[in-house]
A = this chain, B = another copy of it.
């Protein structure tokens, strides 16, 4: 019962801290985000912070994990019917990304993974590993769809599903980076359209994507 209440509101102290950290690190990056800022944003004191996370790095890890997990949930939902045409599912995934560009979470078009792996990739091994794993997860997710699509759709050009997956991943991260720098999300949308066109070109018949 106690647990239910807590879980339901989802606004426990720990959760507030974590959400504050995610938001701030997406905005400013890991190293520019101070523990004090996180506490202020979450409305708690440092005592509370260090009760739940024993170091700044630890909350960094937690933030990455939580971010990936909630993203993954979203992707799953975007796919729609899991028994349908894999190519259609892939297109739905891309549509989901586009939608998340037009209505980004917290009004902030930025991916925690991109931020953290850029900053800490060279210096914080454990953080890098976490991000690498997260990237690999998403990529294999896409690659599986592409592999399945290859089974049911005649192929025009031979391709490696993994490679395409990594390319999509890279393009997505790079697009967000450029969009942030240009202060214009349009570039992400355009890039995703080109990616879709490229994928379509790999198969004999064009994908079922609308004009989007």
Contact between chains at B166 and A170 (CB < 8 Å): no
Contact A180-B32, Cβ < 8 Å, known A122-B27, A164-B194? no
Contact A181-B132, Cβ < 8 Å, known A114-B118, A167-B194, A170-B191? yes
Contact between chains at A122 and B28 (CB < 8 Å): yes
Q: Mark A165-182, 1 if CB is under 8 A from B, else 0.
A: 011011111110110111
Q: Which of A28, A131, A167, A172 has the most CB of B within 10 A?
A: A167
A123 to B167: give the CA distance in the assembly, Å. Answer: 29
A171 to B177: give the CA distance in the assembly, Å. Answer: 10
CB of A163 closer than 8 Å to a CB of B = yes
Chain B hits for A122, CB < 8 A: 27-28, 110, 180
Contact between chains at B181 and A131 (CB < 8 Å): yes
Chain A: residues with Cβ within 8 Å of the partner, total of 43
Contact A135-B31, Cβ < 8 Å, known A166-B187, A201-B201? no
Chain B hits for A172, CB < 8 A: 174
Question: Chain A interface (Cβ within 8 Å of chain B)?
Answer: 27-29, 31-32, 110, 114-115, 117-119, 121-123, 128, 131-132, 135-136, 163-164, 166-167, 169-175, 177-178, 180-183, 187, 190-191, 194, 197-198, 201
CB-CB nearest 6 A-B residue pairs: A174-B174, A170-B174, A173-B174, A117-B181, A121-B180, A118-B118
